[in-house]
Chain A
């Protein structure tokens, strides 16, 4: 038992430790540490239709878009964002079908335009811009969860996008107005078509600038 509870001192011990440990005994395995996504994920992680969470032509589609900035105010041309949200009916269980592989040639097709999978993924373009087309999340989970990955980020960051009319929930209520405002998308009247919102992500800045990032401990 002392061996099980101790820190593995070599990779070989770590392996034995995982294989022989009975589950449900309250012994916690040590996690695999995070590493940066690096700059070269572009041919592996993005997939066709990654930004297009909303079923094709859905009348409730909204666009959320913005830039990702570093501490010097420069846009990140090599960030990738994962988006995860409840379906409009409040369902949190998600649906398969985000990637859809063509079995004949292995190419990804992307979503079928019908199912709402809850998952989206967008890489920033060379100017640091990203855009997501989705359906507004349900009132009882009124936000889009975001995972931020980039070269230079040794461990990804979590934040949330709240549309302007989303009610203040437990997270928003616990923040100062200054910090809260970093999680609110703003109406974007300049967008060419449809309902559009602007949401910038500032990885580093002072209290009024830096996006609120989340810890789930």
Chain B
């Protein structure tokens, strides 16, 4: 396996590039798993206004309950760790709220351990924490989760590779073309510079859009620290003009 110094050098060579939407390139060699898992052929542009991808799956109140957004009440006891609330608004690129759509999250526990059989990190599991949650955005596009702050964890990309603490997010928009899977990071994490997954977003301004903001007004007294993570979904929507004229 290569050293952190070699990965740092590769990251530095690619740093600063501005990419469409700030999205990472699919091939980013410092993230070794991307080398054989990225297309070589150009993508094919679809402009058909009747494309099914301009509509989207729908989820309802039978699919998600309010309790699914609280990851700290799944078991008989309180999970170990710093309790946090993560809130934010989901919009499209024109600032229109994405209403009543599904937001799914998953994360490691406070010790940096996932509830997953393939997970090799010898940190303790927490019997009171699974680390998966779901919510529907409300009429303003807002979502809210109660959870605990995940720990950083080691992984096998290179020697001494550590992931900054993060919460995985999966989102649906007003079109299937707006689908997003991303990761939310915490401000000031010392591991950002060393992590090829975070650094795959090569534009520094785009990197900032992956980092939640600590928001003291959203901290709940005697209960939790508040982080705000607003999410802007990319991609076209079939309902653009229809909604614009309402």
Question: Using a CB–CB distance below 8 Å, which chain A residues touch chain B?
Answer: 7-12, 14-15, 18, 21-24, 27-45, 70-72, 74, 76, 78, 82, 84-86, 92-101, 103, 106, 117-119, 137, 140-141, 143, 145, 147, 149-158, 169-171, 174-175, 179, 203-207, 210, 212-217
Contact = CB atoms under 8 A, between A and B. Distances in A.
10 contacts: A14-B213, A43-B132, A78-B118, A84-B55, A96-B59, A106-B74, A152-B31, A169-B48, A204-B37, A213-B44
Interface of B: 21-26, 28, 31, 33-41, 43-48, 50-60, 62-65, 67-68, 74, 89, 91-96, 104-106, 108, 114-116, 118-119, 130-132, 134, 168, 170, 176-177, 179-183, 187, 197-198, 200-201, 205-213, 228, 230-236, 244
Contacts of B198: 35
Contact of B48 (A44, A92, A155, A170): A170
**The 6 residue pairs across chains A and B that have the minimum distance between CB atoms:** A96-B60, A152-B33, A152-B37, A44-B106, A119-B57, A31-B234
Contacts of A174: 44
Tell me if B's interface is mostly helix, strand, loop or mixed.
loop
A96 B63 contact: yes
B182 A23 contact: no
Contacts of A28: 93-94
Given A32-B231, A32-B233, A71 B36 contact: yes
A213 to B, nearest CB: 5
Contact of A154 (B26, B43, B207): B26
Given A38-B168, A43-B106, A204-B39, A33 B206 contact: yes
Tell me if A's interface is mostly helix, strand, loop or mixed.
loop
A21 B64 CA distance: 30
A191 B131 CA distance: 38
A212 B40 CA distance: 10
Given A9-B205, A101-B68, A39 B118 contact: yes
